[in-house]
Chain A
């Protein structure tokens, strides 16, 4: 995608015409660019009119089924905004979740001793979005789907970085546990990555370091503080 001029992607974004990695990168851009947010908002309204023009009477059974299923479905919490209202506002689901995301960055893959830092500030979240965008738009960037909600990994070996980006991610099955990312090497050995938790179903976690010998990333449930060695079952794995 055009890393130099993401503004050109507003239309394609509004019509869901971006590939997943591009979409994620553009959403990161949106969080920091009011012009694009405004433009996209207007475009979504226009697209909605096109959609309305396509209206046809719904099948008769739909109403009953939808209402019944809704009645059995709990609503999401009223807001992700546990931070000040002055945060970078964003459209759709992504920016809020990014701002809310607890982002953990692991330095030093080989050493296995994770220097973990925790970032909550909006400014830092914006920096992480920018970081993710740089990964996703690197010339050698690749994207892989991950079977954890609707997630994917974008990775650039040249940048020595990968980001796990996802939405609709369920909370860990076991109470009090977090997800943890693992780097899997060719010989089957693993190195610990960051732990992360879904915020409104969305996740963002980075792995940094020399990824040239990492053949896969996997996800397990581990205690909140993270484990040095896998203790949980692998619940998702993606070959790189």
Chain B
């Protein structure tokens, strides 16, 4: 049969399923070939998200590379019952991009570009959503948020704002900022029909 075909983990890459979940599980067992197959599924979202947050292509690329290596390194800890592979990867990507932008871009600089950003982002998200697979659903889901909810989420998610900064920029009490972020995310979750982990 095809015994001359060596694999990182014998047989592992034969497994059916090319979903990010299945591939990341294989990566977690040290399957380098699965990591190569996972790359094209996650690299675009990781880089795109990093770019949105750090707003600098070179820095975004650096962050992306770190995240992708981290995906490989930490894959053995991925637990599908606690969430999807895509959420696992993008949570890591977002966290790292946000940490980076907070370290390298001062609060005042971030605050300065905030106003423009808030109105700007709406269109960018819509435009980018057009191109993605779940385009219609993401766009529709965003449309279900109130404008203040969407604004708060965009500032936190894409501009890397802390909730204190969101409250400051929007001129609303901290509790209001928290509530907008939470309620907005819950509405987004419900509109998208996504579910969290199966930790039951």
Contacts and interface: CB of A to CB of B under 8 A. Distances in A.
Given A58-B47, A67-B36, 8 more contacts: A14-B185, A15-B153, A42-B189, A45-B87, A46-B192, A49-B194, A52-B45, A54-B125
Given A8-B175, A17-B166, A53 B76 contact: no
Contacts of B84: 45, 48
B186 interface: yes
Nearest to A8: B178
Given A62-B43, A91-B83, A12 B196 contact: no
A75 B35 CA distance: 12
Interface stretch (B9-17, B88-96, B112-120): B88-96
Interface of A: 2, 8-12, 14-19, 34, 37-59, 62-63, 65-67, 69-71, 73-80, 89, 91-93, 96, 150, 200
A11 B196 contact: no
Most chain-A Cβ atoms within 10 A of its Cβ — which of B129, B186, B189, B192?
B189
A48 B91 contact: yes
Interface string B70-112: 0011111100001110110111011100110000000000000
Contacts of B83: 41, 44-45, 91
Contacts of B48: 51, 54-56
B49 interface: yes
Contact of A52 (B57, B134, B162): B134
A52 B90 contact: yes
Contacts of B57: 59
Nearest to A40: B196
Interface in B146-200: 153, 156-158, 160-164, 166, 175, 178-179, 181-186, 188-189, 192, 194-197, 199
Query: Is the contact region of chain A dominated by helix, strand, or loop, or is it mixed?
Result: helix
A14 B181 CA distance: 10
A12 B75 contact: no
A67 B82 contact: no
Contacts of B185: 10-11, 14-15, 43, 46-47
B44 A76 contact: no
Most chain-B Cβ atoms within 10 A of its Cβ — which of A91, A150, A200?
A91
A42 B189 CA distance: 6
B194 A66 contact: no
A53 B162 CA distance: 22
Contact of A53 (B77, B98, B128, B181): B128
Contacts of B178: 2, 8-9, 11-12
B48 to A, nearest CB: 4
21 contacts: A8-B178, A11-B185, A12-B181, A16-B160, A17-B161, A17-B163, A39-B186, A41-B82, A46-B185, A47-B94, A48-B84, A51-B48, A51-B49, A53-B128, A54-B45, A55-B132, A58-B47, A62-B43, A62-B61, A66-B69, A70-B68
A16 B98 contact: yes
B113 to A, nearest CB: 17
